[in-house]
Structure 1
Amino acid sequence: MADIHLVGTAHVSQKSVEDVRSAIEEFQPDIVGVELDRGRYVALTQEVPEPSVTDILKGGNFGRILVQWVLTYIQQRIGAETGVKPGSEMLAAIEEAEAHQRPVAFIDRDIRITLSRFWGKMGIWEKIKLIGALIYSLVSVEGQEIDVDEFTNQDVVSAAMEEFRKFSPQGAQALIDERDAYLAHQILMLGNRYERVLAVVGAGHIQGVQRYLNAPETLPPLQSLTAEVKSLPWAKIIGAAVTLLFLLLIAAIAFSGMGFEVLLTALVYWILINGVLSAAFTLLAGGHPLSAATAFAVSWLTSLNPLLAAGWFAAIVEAKIRKPTAGDFRQIIAAETFSEMRRVPLFRVVLVAALANVGSTLGTIAYFVFIFPVLGIDPVVVVSVGFSNMLQMVQGLF
């Protein structure tokens, strides 16, 4: 049976860098496993080509992109406060292993799989809370003195993990629990080939990984940790439901005998409420007035089509005006404040896309909540009379 030793680290801690070097020196492992995947290792050590602006706009998942950028920004800011580059302890482990002529294994799950499962598993409310918490973090991380070495204290780490689990159960499962299992799988496979294995992992994974190492029979199948998350296309389902509900509402008003003026007013308010809120959120994102005008012009239609989004059109116009380049990626990562990051054209384009969609969604909700009070009519009467008249018409045709 292999002798396996775990080292828990904080990703922006000088103490963790020193702990890793000491552990390799003292334990003298046959192999060192690091909590990195090959893609992240390349990103830490080499210049990697960034995806094109067109690829980002075509991808469409602007919320997930923003979350990824903001998380990177927060980690960069903490690293700047402590003077330690994120991932330094993993690079130190690799350098020390190479100095001792020991092989290195990348034992973490591909970051693209982790982010995909993290975002895909979270419900809508969890995503809203996460974005709100990140916005708060953007402000609170500025100028705050942070004792990063506390992040390796297991009592502190356990409390933080428990809070995150309450905050986002599904997100915690993908980001923590699944990776605990994946890391344990990789470490055990190394243990089948080497007698002394040193694994360098984040402090938040120590307890979970150790539990699996103590009871390997409890590990979920490896394939289940890397498969694409299968879930119902809720965005399309909700979009189709909104379209059907709106059409039924308009039909009910048309057949209720309320008159053409009420029907026209209902249609005008649909255009105005969707348009104004989508345009307002575009401007809130720092979008150009032409981008806001685009959001206003299309949101009434995109709200009725689950395959379209107002943010896409607003982002295309914003990109034409701001002209983002591939170099914007480096500027986003290097930004020292959120205001500075927000001035980067590419970040502005993605932010416009995300917030224009938020405004359009809120506009749709506001319409169904307020349209009957605005029109001054009783919804029960309109719906019952309208559908009764429609039913009579259909029966008359047959």
Structure 2
Amino acid sequence: MCIRDSGSLLAPSNEQVEDFDDFDIDQLTDGDVVTAMMEEFRRFSPGGAEALIDERDAFIANRLHALRNEGYHVVAVVGAGHRAGIEQYLDNPASLPPIESITGTTSGRRFSIAKVVGYLMMIGFVAFFGLLLMAGVENVLLLKLFLAWFFVNGIFAFSLARLAGARLSSAAVGGGVAWLTSINPLLAPGWFAGYMELRHRPVNVSDIGVLNDLLDDTERPIGELFDEMLDVELFRLIVIVALTNVGSMIASALFIIAVIPWFGGEIGGVSELLAQLMDGAGNSLETIVGLFE
């Protein structure tokens, strides 16, 4: 069975025949660059990568494996981003998931402990900050601390997203969720900013070819090379995602190093501040429980 990248079977028109030798389609589907882009997409959107890449790879490989078992000889034309995954499944058919699990015909959804833990962590973080916000109604210090966490994370994430070239709406979304995502290991503000930005940027597979050409030019100065790479929509999107995340990381470190000690100095130290945080959350929880008794 032969699997070819879809780009490698493009046929030129009569007008393009003379220029065909000058166009190397293999640069567009270079394995190393495609793999790097797919991995970056996986970090940016794990759920999207599973639905758009992994499940499609498994579905196509299931069909091809079935045809091979029936004795057919098939030439499969697939996108460059799917080739490695499909070949991996065909080399090891035992790893193929049941076709029912990727076509929505099973009686229930797949259970995932990791997802359950992730959702519980999310609920826990939101609940804790909600309790602190409630406590802030009576304890102004806790309210100030919460607002400081919100704005410090938001300002840094927003500013670096804008510095990377994000649109105002995309940077605002990244900054707006940074307070929560910065303490949740399953989320990152750059994913949200990148998702918003992706709705406006015409990212496509041809960007990979452009990046290949730029990276092959070893004589060009680094600064000039980076500027030209930023003109490629896919690379710009990656930079926006990365810098938004970096902004939130810087804000979190700054908050721990500078902001918390500053607040703690007002009430006798960081340990006293942490004690007030726990007491405030506990008091809010008792108030909520008391409403149902």
TM-score normalised by structure 1 residue count: 0.39
| Higher Rg of the two aligned structures | 1
TM-score normalised by structure 2 residue count: 0.49
